[in-house]
Structure 1
């Protein structure tokens, strides 16, 4: 088992079936174009966990800074393949991301999770994350 960044178009493409489980509104072409744009414009990185020649979990991450919180690593998406859940893959990828954030001298790891994703909330709370804000949005 290993974790690494998806740095080539083939590696990014290989992550699509897992990400599509969380983001089914994106077809493959939209996903590839969006990831390329986010990588170029926003420092977005895809990282994946592979075990036994199959990708088991994928996360999209980026770093930024806020005036009140300092430097942080944002997890945009974290998804374990549906057939491979509850086997520790998501936890291992999350822990790897936290260690990577420490290497980058981040003050926090942050994420936004949909209000309906109660299983994800339990996972994040079990990993030591705190519920500390409400996220608001407005479609324009």
Structure 2
């Protein structure tokens, strides 16, 4: 199969909402996610995607910043590949594309968070050479 890896055009950002809802178990409505993604694309954010021909099958947000301990870094966020495409090495190919893209932009580190209960992702990230640096905490205001 000829998959296409690319940065999604900002005017198509809402097309990723169904995949993000699958990742998060539909906990946020379309309206909330549309509002949030509309804000995100005005910040240090890009959205990497995977297409199988015209079908959107994978998504990964990319947040950019500079941190005192890691330098210029990119943080992949809400990584999701459609269930029908898993187990084919597509996640590895997607992250290889992301690594090359981030390096070409001058970034020197990748950091990410993954849900505690998502043990398959932990195995994937360990296999990709990621190390656990700390805990991610969240408090809703």
TM-score, structure 2 normalization:
0.88
Tell me, in whole angstroms, the C-alpha distance in 1 between the residues paired with 2:93 and 2:55.
Answer: 15
CA distance in 1, matches of 2:90, 2:55: 12
So what's the TM-score if we normalise by structure 1? 0.89
- Contact residue 57 and residue 89 of structure 1 kept, 8 A: no
1:30 aligns with 2:35: no
TM-superposed deviation, 1:61: 0.7
Gaps of 5+ in 2: none
Q: Does 1:5 find its partner at 2:11?
A: no
Alpha-carbon distance in 1 for matches of 2:56, 2:140: 34
- Give ranges in structure 1 of 5+ residues lacking alignment: none
Secondary structure at the residue paired with 1:111? coil
Deviation (angstroms), 1:3: 1.2
Task: Work out whether residues 59 and 76 of structure 1, in 8 Å CA contact, stay in contact via their aligned partners in 2.
Answer: yes
For residues 73-88 of structure 1, the aligned pairs below 5 Å read: 73-88=74-89
Distance 2:28 2:93 in 1: 26
What CA distance in whole angstroms lies between the structure 2 residues aligned with 1:5 and 1:29?
Answer: 23
Contact map agreement 1:49 1:89 (CA 8 A) in 2: no
Which ranges of 4 or more aligned residues in structure 1 deviate by more than 4 Å? none
Q: CA deviation at 1:8?
A: 4.1
